[in-house]
Structure 1
Amino acid sequence: MTKIAFYGSSLLSAYWNGAATYYRGILRALAARGYDITFYEPDVHDRQQNRDIDPPDWARVVVYDGTVPALRDAAAKAATADIVVKASGVGFQDDLLLTEVVAAARPDALRIFWDVDAPATLAELHASPDHPLRAALPDLDLVLTYGGGQPVIGAYRALGARDCVPVYNALDPDTHHPVPPEPRFACDMAFLGNRLPDREARVAAWFFAPAAACPEARFLLGGSGWQGHGMPDNVRALGHVPTRDHNALNASARMVLNIARDSMAETGFSPATRVFEAAGAGACIVTDAWKGVEMFLEPGEEILVARDGQDVADFVAQILPPEAERIGRNALARVLNEHTYTHRAALADDLFRARLAAARETA
């Protein structure tokens, strides 16, 4: 059985950890294809105090202290794996972790950097010619990203990566699926997202401004960090929404809004995890415009694309429940047919098998 040692932010907690759904989906699907997975995560940022799942039966989870000695001990375990993955944004001594993990990996192991925020990582690399990741890229076997399309592929190759392949976000239908609506989440438009510096201006333009333009409509805001932010009277802020409530929120709103962060919108081809979560619940999704959306959902039929806040306000005024329900049904059918983590794991499995076989032939 092929062993994967995966070093990431957290598998057990989605608290300030937007990659959790992605990790869970892709790794669970890889486990179903026969991989033996151990996930290493540091005990930092109160994530272990805010777990939203128990340790799963499809992966071992090793939680190590947020100290350098504990990091080095965890990184040394990479020597036991056939595939060693260092993800971006682990949240504690990322550069040191990369160095230690690569050094510990066996010569015949497949060494992968898995970037869950490629636009941010690439901006950091371009700004720092002596960045440890930049120096490590030529020695890594593969860079995987959860989005970015050709611009990200080209950028990584230009920086010295041997290869870069996007493995996009997707749906885990066992986790995100239609449920009965709940009155506590009833609204005309819902948006779920933490307050982040490179998202705040877009939330103001695509969510708060349409709410102000539609005072008779009900807007629901979920996510951490919004307390104290001025907002129209018809916006109800929920604070942090546990993952166990995401299906109910997505199924209860007439429409669900997706707003990309600045870097993601500029790079394109990077649908957020929440797009697939909402589609999986049968929600009518309204998204701010980004290049490549049609690769995943058909505008007008499976998703609504807003060029600006006025378009969002117009959708709130014009898209009545029957039409919203039709679009949501279409989105659910499309993602089940083409965009599940089972589909994504098949791609990753093919990549792993081909590269491991090539390594054995040259050994």
Structure 2
Amino acid sequence: MAGARLNIVILGLSITSSWGNGHATTYRGLVRELARRGHNVLFLERDVPWYASNRDMPRPPYGRTELYSSLEDLRARFEEDVRKAHIVIVGSYVPQGVEVGQWVQRTTLGLPAFYDIDTPVTLAKLSRGDHEYLSPDLIPGYRLYLSFTGGPLLRRLERELGSPTARALYCSVDPELYTPRRCEPRWDLGYLGTYSDDRQPTLDRLMLSAAREWRAGRFVVAGPQYPASVRWPANVERVEHLAPPEHAAFYNSQRFTLNVTRADMIQAGYSPSVRLFEAAACGVPIISDSWNGLDTLFTPGEEILLAHSAADTLGFLRELSEQDRRAIGERARARVLAEHTAAHRAEELEAHALDAVAGR
């Protein structure tokens, strides 16, 4: 495999639609960079109504993307592609993921791999017997377990769950799309994220409470699925959905951006979100909640600002000088460009696959 042009099949949640999921942007960057490195990539996506009506990239311009209507359709049309591929990657939250994984492991002559974009959520589901897209018996059969979460969780996957090889493959950013733009900020602080029960208390503590206290401040929350019961302060603007092409402009319209992490990700640590890298690539300073492993990605106080309360948030918004604000954003951008682009992930995927084949 070393130096060869690889045939890679990825069965992922979605590459054509970013509606209500963070998977599509990750897959788009990864597939593009793998194709640039000379590999043949086939992305297979289940055709479901909620993505069919919200496709912001119906025909990705890199690799080859095909939709399938059912498990039977998948087997009938793509068995030969899966059998002959050097690497077959099944992603988390793929519909009928257990059945898909069983078929892949039976069929491919290459390396079967699992890409978990939701590792802490996955392990929590397994612990309560929820096998929506992965079952414990499948884990040893995936010769490579790629995880959005790094740190100690990787050893647990190997020692307790039987993964032959578990490696971190974090989310990434596309530096061609996420760049600084010189414009007058519309908001003092913004947040981009789909509603989540376990994130909402942190959003309320770090942003909404700050907005209530600082009525002259300008705030914005973008993302779908927020219930009508959420009480938004008058100075918090709401945007229902932003397609990926609009993300960079959104970040660049903020003086600061807020990063809020799901409870499972905080407990696991070492679980950066793609929004973290996107905002940093735009040079926008980030105010974040705190979790283990964050300091391996950004240096607190120099490349990222950590908040535990509304008072912390307001201190950054109202007391940090413009020079210091810009410097934090610039340092975070430099860190991301050096370590966390889609090109870095494509190279890491190659290395992990070679190691797995060699039994290292």
- TM-score by shorter chain over 0.5: yes
Deviations along 1:74-95, whole A, 9 cap, x unmatched?
56241131101111012x2222
Q: CA RMSD in A?
A: 2.1
1:147 to 139, 146, 149: 149
Indicate the larger mover: 202-211 or 110-119: 202-211
- 1:296 corresponds in structure 2 to 297
- 1:198 corresponds in structure 2 to 198
- 1:103 corresponds in structure 2 to 106
What is the deviation of 1:358?
5.6
Matched, 1:20 2:24: yes
Deviations along 1:223-280, whole A, 9 cap, x unmatched?
0022522111110101101211111111110000000011111111111000110011
| Counterpart Cα distance in 2 of 1:193 and 1:323 | 26
Unaligned runs of 5+ in 1: none
| Counterpart Cα distance in 2 of 1:74 and 1:175 | 34
| Counterpart Cα distance in 1 of 2:200 and 2:15 | 26
What is the deviation of 1:150?
1.7
Counterpart AA for 1:51: R
Q: 1:176 to 1:153 in 2, by over 3 A?
A: farther
Counterpart AA for 1:98: G
| Counterpart Cα distance in 2 of 1:75 and 1:313 | 54
Matched, 1:11 2:12: no
- 1:270 corresponds in structure 2 to 271
Deviations along 1:298-340, whole A, 9 cap, x unmatched?
1111111112333223222222433222211111111112222
Deviations along 1:11-41, whole A, 9 cap, x unmatched?
1211112111211222222222222100000
What is the deviation of 1:73?
3.1
Matched, 1:58 2:62: yes
State the identity %: 33
8 Å Cα contact 1:75/1:104 also seen in 2: no
Counterpart AA for 2:204: A
- 1:169 corresponds in structure 2 to 171
| Counterpart Cα distance in 2 of 1:130 and 1:342 | 32
Q: 1:130 to 1:9 in 2, by over 3 A?
A: closer
Q: How does 1:75-154 map to 2 (within 5 A)?
A: 76=79, 77-90=81-94, 92-106=95-109, 109-128=110-129, 133-154=135-156
Counterpart AA for 2:249: A
Deviations along 1:190-245, whole A, 9 cap, x unmatched?
00001122322222222212222222211111000225221111101011012111
| Counterpart Cα distance in 1 of 2:287 and 2:306 | 6
| Counterpart Cα distance in 2 of 1:156 and 1:36 | 30
2:39 to 32, 35, 43: 35
8 Å Cα contact 2:119/2:149 also seen in 1: yes
- 1:209 corresponds in structure 2 to 209
| Counterpart Cα distance in 2 of 1:17 and 1:232 | 26
Q: Give the paired residue count.
A: 353
Return the TM-score normalized by structure 2. 0.92
| Counterpart Cα distance in 2 of 1:74 and 1:224 | 34
Secondary structure in structure 1 of the residue aligned to 2:215: coil
Indicate the larger mover: 7-16 or 338-347: 338-347
Secondary structure in structure 2 of the residue aligned to 1:47: helix
1:160 to 147, 159, 162: 162
Indicate the larger mover: 337-346 or 291-300: 337-346
8 Å Cα contact 2:280/2:332 also seen in 1: yes
Counterpart AA for 1:89: Y
8 Å Cα contact 1:220/1:238 also seen in 2: yes
Secondary structure in structure 2 of the residue aligned to 1:317: helix
What is the deviation of 1:130?
7.9
| Counterpart Cα distance in 1 of 2:324 and 2:98 | 49
| Counterpart Cα distance in 2 of 1:119 and 1:12 | 25
Q: How does 1:302-341 map to 2 (within 5 A)?
A: 302-341=303-342
Indicate the larger mover: 48-57 or 4-13: 48-57
Counterpart AA for 1:197: D
Q: 1:293 to 1:144 in 2, by over 3 A?
A: same
Counterpart AA for 1:95: V
Return the TM-score normalized by structure 1. 0.91
Indicate the larger mover: 338-347 or 211-220: 338-347
8 Å Cα contact 2:183/2:253 also seen in 1: yes
| Counterpart Cα distance in 2 of 1:24 and 1:207 | 31
Counterpart AA for 1:171: V
| Counterpart Cα distance in 2 of 1:75 and 1:288 | 43
| Counterpart Cα distance in 1 of 2:338 and 2:217 | 33
Q: 1:152 to 1:205 in 2, by over 3 A?
A: farther
Unaligned runs of 5+ in 2: none
- 2:235 corresponds in structure 1 to 234
Runs of 4+ in 1 over 6 A off after TM superposition: none
Secondary structure in structure 1 of the residue aligned to 2:145: strand
What is the deviation of 1:188?
0.3
Counterpart AA for 1:41: E
Q: 1:93 to 1:266 in 2, by over 3 A?
A: same
